[in-house]
Chain A
Amino acid sequence: MNPGFSILALIVLMGAVGAMTLRNLVHCALSLAVTFAGLAGLYLALGAEFVGLAQVLVYIGAVAILIVFAILLTRPLDTAQARPFSATWVAGLAVALIVFGVLSMAIHRSGVGADRVALSGGVTVREIGDLLMTWYVVPLEVVGLLLTVALIGAVIIALREEAPRAEDAAGDGPGKGIGKEKEPGHREP
C-alpha cells in the first residue's frame, strides 16, 4: 500500500467519522466536505482525472453548499445538538446495513473487476466525451431530461407558495408598511 493512498484513505475516514459524531450540524457538513475532497484525491491518484475533478466541482461546489443551505434554512442558527445518537439510531443502522448489503451484492454480481483491463496512461477527457456522445448517448440524454424535469418541478413547487402571498400583499393595499416592519418575520407561515 503506498503512502499517498494511506493518507487519502485516512482523510476520507476521518471526515466520515467526524460527519457522524460531531455535535454541530454545520461542522458535520464541513466534515463531509473533507470526505468528498479526500475521495476526489483518491480518484486523481488512480489516474481518473475527469472523475476526480468532477467530484470536486459537483460535491464540494454544489452538494456541500446545498447541505449547509438546507441546514441553515430549516434550523435555528445555533445548530448544536445534545447527543450524536438520535433516538432511532438502531433503525438507522439497520437501514444502512441493508443498503450496504444490497449495493455490495449488486456490485459483486455485476462482474466489475472480473475483466480487468490494464490502462496505459489513464483515460483522457476526449475518450470519455467520445463515449458519452456515441455509445452512451441515450443514457446521457435520459439523465439530462430527468434532471431538467426535477429542476423545473422544484421551481414550480417553490413558485406555488408565492401565489397566495402576492394576492395577500395586493389586498393589503397602501398603509401596511410601518406597523409590519416592527415585527419582521412574524407573518411568515
Chain B
Amino acid sequence: MNGMREAADQIFVNAKHWLVEWMPPALQPLSSILLSVSAIVSVFALLFAITTIVERKGLGRFQNRLGPNRVGPFGWLQPVADGLKTLTKEDVVPRAADRLVHFLAPLALVVPVFLAFSVLPIGRNMAAIDLDAGLLFFFAVGASSELAVFMAGWSSRNKYSLLGAMRAIAQMISYEVPLIVSSLTVVMMAGTLSLVEIVRVQADFWHGLPQWHVFTPWGLAGFLLFFVAATAESNRSPFDIPEGESEIIAGYYLEYSGFKFALFFLGEYLGLFAVSALAVTLFLGGWSAPVSLLAWLPSWFWFFAKLCALIAVLIWVRATLPRLRMDQLMRFAWTFMLPMALINLVVAAVWHYVGGGLAGWLIGAVLLAVPYVGLGLLLGRPGGFRKRTYRFAD
C-alpha cells in the first residue's frame, strides 16, 4: 500500500528519470531540461484551454444564459475550435505600427510567464529548478512583463492601446508593492526564499491537521491581501480597467490579431495561474494534503486541486463584482492594501515572539481588526469618495 502510494506520488519524477537514463550520457542534462520544460509548457497550456471553456460556461450560468454549446458534446471542444481559428486568422499589423516592437511584445510577455513556473513546486520533488532565491526569481520575471505591456501599447500607435498600457503598468506597479510585502511575512516565518523549502515547512501534520500558513492570523490576512493583489496584478475583474472593453476596447492588445492575440490571452491566463500557484505555495501548503487521512492521494493532485479551486474563485469573483474606476483602484492599493500589508508584517513578528497559540491569535486579531475597521471608517466616511476632478481630462 505504502509502495503504491509512493509510486503514484512520484510517477512523473520516476518516468523522467527513466527517460533520461535511456539517453546517451552526453545528452542527459539537455534531455532532462527539455523534459521539464515541455511538461510545464504542455500542462499549463492545457489548463489554459480548460479554463477558457470553464470560464465561458461558468459566466454563462452566472448571467443566466447557456454559454458555448455548439462544438463537441455540450460545447466542451470549444477551445480546440478557438485555437484553430486564431491560428488560421490573418495577422493584421497597423501600417503606422512599430513593426519590430509590435512583433516582439507578445513574446516578451509569454516567455517570462513560462519562466515563472520553473520555480514552483508542483508536487513532492517536482520543482523544475530549486533556486535558493526562488521567490525573488518569481517576482523578477513577473516584473519584466510590465515592459512587454508597454511595448505592446506603445508600438501599436493607437491611443486606446497606449492608454491601456499606461493603466496596466500603473496598476501592476502599485499592486506589486502589497503583493510582495504580503508574501514577505511567509519569508520571515519560514526563514527562506526557496519555494521548495516554504512548502516543506508547511507539509507536516499536527494531530492529523495541516500546518498551512493560512491557519495563522498573519497567514490569513496575508493570503487575503496576496489574493486581492494577485487579482489586480493579473488584470482580472474587478481590477480589469486596463482592458475595459466599454471605454478603451481591449487596452494594450487592441491592435493584435490572430495568433499574437492568442499569445496575449495565453500570457494573461498563465500569469493568473502562476500567481495563484504562488498563493497556493506560500499560504495553502503547496502540494501537501489538507488532512493526514487524505495524504494517500498524490502530491501533484493536491497542488492542481488547490490551483483549480483558486481559479474557480476568481471566475466567481469576476462574475459577481463590478469593475472599479481607475482612481478607486489606485486609492485602494495605496491607502488600504499597503498599510494592511505593513501591519501584517508586525503581526507576523509578534506571532513569532509570542510563540503562537491563543495569545498570538488574540494579539494578531486585535492588531489586524483595529486598523481594518479604522481604515474602513476613515476611507468610507462621507466625502471620502467624493466626485473626482480629473487633472488632464476635465
Chain A residues engaging chain B, CB cutoff 8 angstroms: 24, 26-27, 30, 33, 37, 49-50, 53-54, 56-57, 60-62, 64-65, 68-69, 72, 77, 124-126, 162, 165-166, 169, 177, 180-181, 184-185, 188
Contact = CB atoms under 8 A, between A and B. Distances in A.
A184 B141 CA distance: 38
Contact of A126 (B162, B169, B192): B192
B133 interface: yes
A68 B154 contact: yes
B169 A65 contact: yes
Contacts of A54: 136, 140
Interface stretch (B16-24, B52-60, B386-394): B386-394
A44 to B, nearest CB: 10
Contact of B389 (A24, A65, A125, A166): A166
Nearest to A49: B133
A162 B136 contact: no
Contacts of B192: 126
A49 B132 contact: yes
A68 B150 contact: yes
Contacts of A177: 394
A126 B187 CA distance: 11
Interface in B72-116: 98, 101
A33 B144 CA distance: 10
A61 B394 CA distance: 32
Contact of B132 (A125, A162, A166): A125
Q: Is the interface of B mostly helix, strand, loop or mixed?
A: helix
B147 interface: yes
A27 B101 contact: yes
B230 interface: no
A72 B133 CA distance: 34
B144 A125 contact: no
A57 B391 contact: no
Contact of A53 (B101, B140, B389): B140
Contacts of A49: 131-133
B3 to A, nearest CB: 35
25 contacts: A27-B98, A30-B101, A30-B147, A49-B131, A49-B133, A53-B133, A56-B144, A57-B136, A57-B139, A57-B140, A57-B143, A60-B144, A61-B143, A62-B143, A62-B173, A65-B169, A65-B173, A72-B154, A72-B162, A77-B157, A124-B132, A125-B133, A125-B193, A162-B391, A169-B389
B198 interface: no
B204 interface: no
A184 B393 CA distance: 6
Nearest to A40: B140
B133 A61 contact: no
Contact of B394 (A62, A65, A69, A169): A169
Contacts of B150: 65, 68
A60 B131 contact: no
Contact-residue bracket for chain B: 20 to 34
B143 A56 contact: yes
A177 B173 CA distance: 32
A61 to B, nearest CB: 3
Contact of B146 (A50, A61, A166): A61
A67 to B, nearest CB: 10
A180 B169 CA distance: 29
Contacts of A162: 391
B136 A53 contact: yes
B368 interface: no
Contact of A26 (B132, B137, B154): B154
Nearest to B100: A27
Given A64-B147, A65-B150, A185 B392 contact: yes
Contacts of A169: 389, 394
B148 to A, nearest CB: 10
B136 A165 contact: no
B151 interface: yes
B146 A65 contact: yes
Contacts of B140: 53-54, 56-57, 60-61
Contacts of B146: 61, 65
Contacts of A50: 133, 136
Interface string B168-186: 0100010010000000000
Interface in B321-358: none
A54 B193 CA distance: 13
Closest A-B pairs by Cβ, 7 of them: A61-B143, A56-B140, A57-B140, A53-B136, A53-B140, A60-B144, A125-B133
A48 B139 CA distance: 17
A61 B136 contact: no
B191 to A, nearest CB: 8
Contacts of A165: 391
Interface string B363-394: 00000000000000000000000000101111
Contact of B141 (A30, A56, A69, A185): A56
A41 B320 CA distance: 43
A125 B192 CA distance: 8
Contacts of A64: 147
